[in-house]
Amino acid sequence: MSDTIFGKISRGEIPADIVYQDEAVVAFRDLNPQAPTHVLVIPRKPIPTLNALEAEDAELVGKLFLAARKIAEQEGIAAAGYRTVINCNAAAGQTVFHLHLHLLGGRPMGWPPG
């Protein structure tokens, strides 16, 4: 499986503004934020896209969302509301092929998304 910039961040090989990490996931601020809070939550396991998820990853996906919930509280956006997004492949605009959940908040969100 090819390595990505997020794999390097998860292993501490390149810097990132890390806001949360545990044995399964790492979360850091997006370099090009689309909202006052824009954090990326990634599994340490290098899964390229949602299409590559296996049944054995079910617990890991739960941990991504539990980390997002914790970070939303930490960032003070839980009560007002926030959005989680996972882009899958080119049509959705995925540019980094290491599964990541976008956590966006701190401003009103439009719907439908672009």
Residue ranges binding ligand AMP (CB under 6 A): 5, 16, 28, 30-32, 40, 87, 93-96
**Min separation Cβ 69 and ligand AMP, Å:** 20
Active site residue 100: yes
CB of 97 to ligand AMP, least distance (A): 8
CB atoms within 10 A of CB 25: 21
Residue 10, token pair as written in the block: 């998860």
Residue located via tokens 């997002």: 68
Which of 78/86 has CB closer to ligand AMP?
86
Separation in Å, CA 6 to CA 79, 90, 92: 29, 18, 18
16, two tokens: 């990132």
Q: Which lies closer to ligand AMP via its Cβ, residue 32 or residue 51?
A: 32
Residue with the two structure tokens 């997020």: 6
Smallest separation (angstroms) from ligand AMP to the CB of 94: 4
Q: Annotated active-site positions, please? A: 100
